Structure 1
């Protein structure tokens, strides 16, 4: 009879459940803290319908990392601004429940209490380097916690849909634009 056990240490099912429950509890506590502290009730930044000041700090660090390679460095500031406008427009037109979930995700990423442990970004988003933001994205993408993987997928979809909905992004991917009728 062959021994089918592995010698390397692995997380047991019980351990995985504990980690998942602890992660869920942490995110729920952060969401509740953000709601009770008024973080999620803040008003949108001037010129935006949905995005708040705390959201912009995070997104202005995130978007350049996600658009690296698709946008020339000289056009990055304009691309970030345009992507933020598209994202704000899209969030202003989603269902209330989807908006609520997105705001909760942004709140978790904005609160210093949860930002450090969950992202590895211990300082402000404005002081985070591109390599730190990239490491955060990889951390969430490859996490054993499904909730973090879903957060990564949500951020990726939000930013990419907002960028590729803009006409200036079409040339990079070879899209000639919609046909004229």
Structure 2
């Protein structure tokens, strides 16, 4: 694997900064970033939920029986929301920028390949988006992939119903 030259590093940094600035600007203009929390949530906004519901559903496939999937997704989103309520304001702003970038049609389509919206995206399209970001030559997209999956997985594995699937007996009783 070849090392990045200084010029390549500057290009990636400029592209990443421009992308986040554009998402932030567009999010601010569309009211995304100023949006308050969704009903029943502390931090997650209505604009975040379609993305998170669909991606969480894909991430949990194989770990959750089909009939239990809606409750597992909803519970995972509430755990994620609780976790975001306890991060620093600076970290939450970065997470909100990632969600804005993925929610806005002008950035969502070109960056993810999901053109019609998260509600209409099928599992294969979401898996293709996740794979594309995981294997991207751009560090910013790889970091976005890692952040998105880690948040969802931490929220899921913090739930007692996930423990049996991975063989964890739960914390010892005191």
TM-score of the aligned structures, taking structure 2 as reference length? 0.91
2:21 to 25, 28, 37: 28
2:85 paired with 1:92? yes
Which structure 1 segments of 5+ residues have no match?
1-9
8 Å CA contact retained: 1:30, 1:114 = yes
With over 3 angstroms needed to count, the CA separation of the structure-2 counterparts of 1:97 and 1:18, relative to structure 1, is closer
Structure 1 residues 145-171: Cα deviation after superposition (integer angstroms, max 9, x where no partner): 000000000001100000000000000
User: In structure 2, how many angstroms separate the alpha carbons of the residues matched to 1:23 and 1:179?
Assistant: 45
Which structure 2 segments of 5+ residues have no match?
none
Aligned to 2:139: 146
User: In structure 2, how many angstroms separate the alpha carbons of the residues matched to 1:92 and 1:30?
Assistant: 22
2:119 paired with 1:119? no
**128-137 vs 92-101, greater mean Cα deviation:** 92-101
Aligned to 1:37: 30
Q: How do 1:1-181 residues align onto structure 2 when only pairs under 5 Å count?
A: 18=11, 21-181=14-174
Query: Which structure has the bigger radius of gyration?
Result: 1
**25-34 vs 42-51, greater mean Cα deviation:** 25-34
8 Å CA contact retained: 1:20, 1:145 = no
8 Å CA contact retained: 1:24, 1:147 = no
RMSD: 1.8
User: In structure 1, how many angstroms separate the alpha carbons of the residues matched to 2:139 and 2:48?
Assistant: 23
Deviation at 1:23, TM superposition (A): 4.4
TM-score of the aligned structures, taking structure 1 as reference length? 0.88
